[in-house]
Amino acid sequence: MEGYVKMLHATKLVGATLLTIGIAIFIYGSLISEFSTIMGIGIGVVMGAVFIFLIGMILVASEEMVLNSSKYKRESV
């Protein structure tokens, strides 16, 4: 159980940090800067943050399902 929580907190922390940085870069690129490439970098960072968060959630869910299925197999035997 402790492994799930550590992975979940790490995923949440990295995802939230990258999401905040990406939103800040996007706002800077769209409102302040005249270069449209900065806005694209902001969009890419936001997409990366969402991707990292989703992959982390999938890993936590699959680890939990694997451990629970092996526990149920031992109980049924």
Q: What local confidence, expressed as pLDDT, does residue 54 receive?
A: 94
Question: Which residues does 11 contact at the CB level (< 8 Å), separation at least 6?
Answer: 52, 53, 56, 57, 60
Angle between helices 2-27 and 36-76 (to 10 degrees): 170
Task: Output the pTM of the full model.
Answer: 0.79
Band of pLDDT at residue 69, cut at 50, 70 and 90: confident
Residues 12-58 pLDDT 10s? 999 999 999 999 999 999 998 887 889 999 999 999 999 999 999 99
Nearest alpha carbon to residue 25 among 13, 10, 11, 37: 37
> Is residue 77 predicted with pLDDT exceeding 60?
no
